[in-house]
Amino acid sequence: MAGHDYIDDPKNPFFSLEDDVDDEAFLRSAPQRSNTSNHNPFTNSDDAFERQHQQLLERKKAIEDRTIKSSERSISLLRDSEQIGAATAE
């Protein structure tokens, strides 16, 4: 450790000069940065959320379409039943 002016405090259990790391050694051990300056780490998760959102919208639309068709069939059957009941009553 080159030229530090730290005072070793024996009452402080959280810092001792033996545990201190040289600044130059610390900087040399840093991980290499990638050269892509426009890389956004959130892009992949944003895309995944957008795809999932789109899938949910499509699923919602399909359920709505099935519900409408089922309701139309039910109304048609009720009208048929009503006509049969009216014809039987005559």
What pLDDT digit, counting tens, does each position of 11-70 carry? 666 666 666 667 777 777 777 766 655 666 667 778 888 999 999 999 999 999 999 999
Average pLDDT, integer, range 70-76 = 96
Vertex 25, ends 2 and 20: CA angle to 5°?
60
- Residue 1: pLDDT over 50: no
- The structure's pTM equals 0.46
Domain range for residue 65?
50-90
Residue 26 lies inside a defined structural domain of this protein: no
Residue 59 lies inside a defined structural domain of this protein: yes
24: Cβ contacts below 8 Å, ≥ 6 apart = 2
Residue 5 lies inside a defined structural domain of this protein: no
Our count of domains for the chain comes to 1
Residue 7 lies inside a defined structural domain of this protein: no
Residue 23 lies inside a defined structural domain of this protein: no
